Amino acid sequence: MAAIHLSINGRAFTIDADPQTSLLTVLREHLDLTGTKYGCGEGQCGACTVLIDGKAQRSCLTRAAAVGQRKITTIEGLARGDQLHAVQQAFLDEGALQCGYCTSGMIMSAVALLDRNHHPTPSEIIEFMDGNVCRCGTYSRIIRAIQKAAKKRVETGTAKAVGQ
Amino acid sequence: MSTGKRLDLPLEPERYELSSASAYVFDLDRREFFRVCGAGVLLVSVLKPSAWMQESGQSRPRRGDSLPQEIDAWLHIGENGKVTVYTGKVEVGQNIRTSLSQAVAEELHFPIEKITLVMGDTQLTPFDMGTFGSRTTPTMNLQLRRVASAARDLLVELAAKRWQTDRQKLTTADGKVLDPSNHRSVEYAALVKGQQLTQRLPAQDPLVPAESWTKLGQSMPKVDGRDFVTGAHRYPSDQKLPEMWYGKILRPPAFGASLVSVDLKKAEGMGSIAVHDGNFVGVAAPSSHQATTALAAIQADWKTEPQPSGKELVDYLKKSPAEGRDPTGDGDRYEVGNVDQGAASAAHRLQRTYTVAYIAHVPLEPRAAVAKWDADNLTVWTGTQRPFGVRGELAEAFRISEDGVRVLMPDTGSAYGGKHTGETAIEAARLARAAKRPVKVVWSREEEFTWAYFRPAGVIDVMSSVRDDGTIASWEFHNYNSGSAGIRTFYEITNQRIVFHPAASPLRQGSYRALAATANHFARESHMDELAHVLKMDPLEFRRKNLKNERLRAVFEAAADKFSWGKRQSADGRGFGMGGGYEKLGNVATFAEVQVDRKSGEVKVVRVVSAFECGAIVNPDNLRNQVEGSNVQGLGGALFEAIEFANGKILNGRMSEYRVPRFSDLPAIETVLLDRKDLPSAGAGECPMIGLAPAIANAIFDATGTRLRSLPLVPNGLKVS
């Protein structure tokens, strides 16, 4: 067991865990931040996606102890009070979910994409998001939601990167 | 623990009876209702025996001469102004929490945001067989409309009494009873204050006709959507209780393996507990990391038996009838006319064999359960389509009364027919009993791939004959193992022999979205295309010639129109095809365009058009979402999904080895919805899937001249000679 220091959603945490423990397990089990999901444990489905210094990372393959000083943002840290992030709102507006289990990972990946590309084309979205699986098959709606969020962020001047 | 036999039961409602419903009969106890709900007005819906029998597909055990009455839903209007509806149905992404709320809002004249649905909690909700077979909309939606309508009636009566006026003069809107004659109004909440009224649902159906709907028939967003985009919603695998431990199960090295010896000493010395009970071996520990470590410390020897492998599957299924079944097919036989005479009279005869592979549901949330004992009372939170069935499994496994078991089903991360059984609940409960504290078990993806159950594989032989004018003269159809859902042809054929042959499946199999309708439509609609080709007829024209069903004709025409079938231009490597049918009270026609790269063998589905009709549309945007989702999920089974297995082992049981559809597989999808306001609403979670596979197979033939008769069609691309 070792003390692991993490910065998550703007707050500092110290966790006592085995050094091999994944960031996903620390989030879900130690901190009860269950918005980040387990889907496959091998980085193939994207359900566990979080932002680390603004980059989309698979928390199931990331050792918590290896994150260091970098800033972690999870789905719980995306909204500002009652104000949803543009991507969250767009997912609601486009009905871009069915069971919603992939949604956290989809939204976090989409935020990472829009933070580095303000106007992604559909093929850029497909290429970037291809590691995120939606078994319910809402892909076309997710693409629309990402495009809608991109447009809104540019229009309202809110295209400010998250968690960097 | 003696759960092995029970868990191995194949589960598919149309092929096998589900584990029979409990003899549980909900006695109407007013005090109990109001203890749970608080004061107010309560409406109780009693399912008519005939409706019950339709849904369950079997008759209920009789008591005396009459069927027991069955409560299927209840609705409570509280003095706090909130309406709570209790139903045993569950939410797995089909969005019934929203559509059922719409039903209540419509008939009760009440704001949807003040309606709460309590779903799938065996202590609080009435008995329900389970959420499957696209039955929620045709049964529960209708039933809740009746309940809400009766509730509104009762509220009007209360207001009429209060005002001492004629109830005919009163109207309702937005949670109030209004008296237009003197502009007074009263909130429902005020009317029910201090009341403890119960009323059974009257027999008549005073329902708002679909033409006049204002809340049903609208694209209402998901009622609790915000909880899903913020990560706040707690799925079964997110449940956490104080003092809870984490459990892991020791899995055998192969199916059917038996435990010879096991040494738990090392595992027990690690701050965890270990359990060996019959063939069950598991551990629980304060953290999942510790549980994994303890599990790895267990030494076990297993005895395995040789088993069939995927390579020999087609032969095996045809030669291995299910226990007690006649290989010639007494299982499910439909015969009309005389196929031999029909065939003798026709100019062209065709005999073809089609196959489908085992596939996995891959629900993104694997099976999960949290179990907690309180003396001999057991509470389990788990993701299942059959909370009441799982309650029965738990009671049986632990030899306790069902009254002592409560199963709760938080809205779950999808199921697709794959979460009917309760093994995870039993595992968590067994470990919780040993650990003397709550235990959570979440299956790993590998466990989900291996120890759940699969969509049945199957072999389908079709022997047909056609006359020169395009009339189908005979139709013989034999399905081995995959199932009888959708096995009957909807084309007008005088001479038919249709037989389902249950086989001894080498893998555990069960329900999968649309059941065998996917396999049977694949074979039937592919074969239709083959016959059209024999006759050199346009495939749409050939279908028109043999199809009378108006609803099916309508979806074929609508899809053909949207697809511009008549203007298509096939070319080498570019092809067009169609497939369609009806299932679960819905009608679908799907047209597909494919692009085949002859050099690389890559097959890309570039465009899909589906026309779908399921009666009066309850929520157009959600319906569209279901049709689109069915087509996307269907792409996997059509093109590349297949479980590979050998000698009792799954060979590709990981997400990196089992390909599911991704963003890059997405075709342009267009959906045409036909809204039949004159017809009852039906479900849509399954039927839209069935047209896609044959449409793609037919399009590949159109593009290349290569006829593919096995699902998946192109797991390794298309080898064109």
Domain end among B229, B249, B280: B229
Expressed as residue numbers, the domain containing B32 is 4-229
Domain end among B410, B442, B474: B442
pLDDT band at B40; cut points 50, 70, 90: confident
Domain A2-77, CATH among 3.20.20.80, 3.40.50.300, 3.10.20.30, 3.30.565.10:
3.10.20.30
**Secondary element (H or E) of residue B197:** strand B196-200
Question: What predicted TM-score, i.e. pTM, was given to this entire model?
Answer: 0.93
CATH no., domain A86-156: 1.10.150.120
pLDDT at B233 over 70: yes
User: B365 vs A101: CB contact, 8 Å cut-off?
Assistant: yes
pLDDT band at A156; cut points 50, 70, 90: confident
Q: Is B720 helix (H, G, I), strand (E, B) or coil?
A: coil
Domain shared by B112 and B200, yes or no: yes
Domain boundaries, chain A: 2-77, 86-156
In a domain, B718, yes or no: no
Question: pLDDT tens across A67-90, in order?
Answer: 999 999 999 999 999 999 999 999
Which two three-digit tokens encode residue B350? 């065709």
In a domain, B314, yes or no: no
CATH number of B587's domain: 3.30.365.10
In a domain, B183, yes or no: yes
User: B628 vs A137: CB contact, 8 Å cut-off?
Assistant: yes
Which two three-digit tokens encode residue A152? 């809104």
Average pLDDT for A23-52: 98
Question: Domain count of chain B?
Answer: 3
Which two three-digit tokens encode residue B163? 């005002």
Write down the pLDDT at residue B62: 30
Domain shared by B500 and B549, yes or no: yes
Domain shared by B77 and B210, yes or no: yes
User: B663 vs A38: CB contact, 8 Å cut-off?
Assistant: no
Write down the pLDDT at residue B356: 98
Listing DSSP states for B40-77 in one string gives: EEEEEEEE-HHHHHHHHSSPPPPBTTBPPPEEEEEEEE
Domain end among B185, B202, B229: B229
Closest CA to B45 of B94, B82, B100: B100
In a domain, B716, yes or no: no
Q: What is residue B124's DSSP assignment? A: T
B422: closest CA of chain A, how far (Å): 20
Domain shared by B275 and B152, yes or no: no
Write down the pLDDT at residue B194: 82
Domain shared by B412 and B528, yes or no: no
> What is the C-alpha separation between A104 and B60, in angstroms, rounded?
43
pLDDT band at B75; cut points 50, 70, 90: confident
Between positions 369 and 428 of B, the ones with CB within 8 A of A are: 411-414, 416
Q: How many CA atoms lie within 13 A of B555 on its CB side?
A: 29
Q: What is residue B148's DSSP assignment? A: H
Domain shared by B173 and B202, yes or no: yes
Write down the pLDDT at residue B147: 86
Question: pLDDT tens across B501-550, in order?
Answer: 999 999 999 999 999 999 999 999 999 999 999 999 999 999 999 999 99
Q: Which residues of A touch B442 (CB under 8 A)?
A: 38
Listing DSSP states for B547-578 in one string gives: ---HHHHHHHHHHHHHHTGGG---BTTEEEEE
Domain shared by B331 and B434, yes or no: no
Question: pLDDT tens across B289-325, in order?
Answer: 999 999 999 999 999 999 999 999 999 999 999 887 7
Domain shared by B52 and B175, yes or no: yes
Domain shared by B209 and B298, yes or no: no
Pair B690, B578: CB distance under 8 Å: no
User: A98 vs B414: CB contact, 8 Å cut-off?
Assistant: yes
Q: What percent of chain A has pLDDT over 70?
A: 98
By Cβ distance, the residue of A25, A40, A135 closest to B288 is: A25
User: B221 vs A28: CB contact, 8 Å cut-off?
Assistant: no
Domain shared by B176 and B271, yes or no: no
Write down the pLDDT at residue A10: 97
Q: Is A49 helix (H, G, I), strand (E, B) or coil?
A: strand
Residues 6 or more apart whose Cβ sits within 8 Å of residue B115: B82, B83, B84, B85, B101, B104, B105, B223
What is the ipTM metric for this complex? 0.97
